[in-house]
Structure 1
Amino acid sequence: MEGWQVFFEIPGKPPVELREGESIIGRSRTSAVHIPETTVSRQHARVTVNDGGIVLLADLGSANGTVVNGEKVEGDRRLADGDRVLVGDAELVIRILAPAEAADATVRVVIPPLGPPPAGATVRMDFADAATPVLPTA
């Protein structure tokens, strides 16, 4: 799977990268894709990533089922880039990037601001490592 990048986008969470081999989606803290929701079984589904970016999904007999693009998963289901996967009530989007796309891709992680600094705090900005020189304005 050299060069391929496979990950799940989960609303409100950082992307979860999947390595080659099998990964479990579930409520269990030991799951590779941990979804702590009551509608998700402890071991809900299995994702298998093979050479060449082939990604298979199988439900593991979960109570609430697994759905891809509106269709219930029975047996192994091949996933394509952008497929929407419902695990219980949780929605995930699979991203499968070929080597050239993966090299150009940037995974965006959003960190909420901590708020303004406390009153009287000193704010220091260091531009010594800036790629573009910062010039004072007149």
Structure 2
Amino acid sequence: MLDFWYSPRCSREIKLVSSIAVCIGIYLCSTVVELPALWVGLSLMLGMLTHVLYSVYLKLAPASAYRNTLHNGIYIFQLFALFGLAYILPEQHKWILWLQCLGFDLIGLFLVSIYSNRAKRHDQLDE
């Protein structure tokens, strides 16, 4: 998924629709039970950390010995982090809370990656 998200094939429209779909999913899940703010913050930070790690991965030379290890490590980190969150969530409506954690994780990734790759604005005031 990350390879596609950071590729030129993933247009701005796809990123916008993905962000909206995830927000709608979070909203629908929150109508059943609301995720506490601590878990929202942790999930957002996981998404942001994933972006930072993937940015480091993209900056490594293709022949680097650490590139493949980091690529696999990012996915393993995400897997363990999300399952760790699922393990410590409250028992009642656990799967809905976990879906919200996953959604906020994706929102954290989406926001940071979209902002970092946005088109730079030029000042028009230099007349």
Q: Which has the higher strand share?
A: 1
TM-score bracket, shorter-length normalisation: under 0.3
Higher relative contact order (CA 8 A, sep 6+): 2
Give the TM-score taking structure 2 as reference length: 0.24
Q: Which has the higher helix share?
A: 2
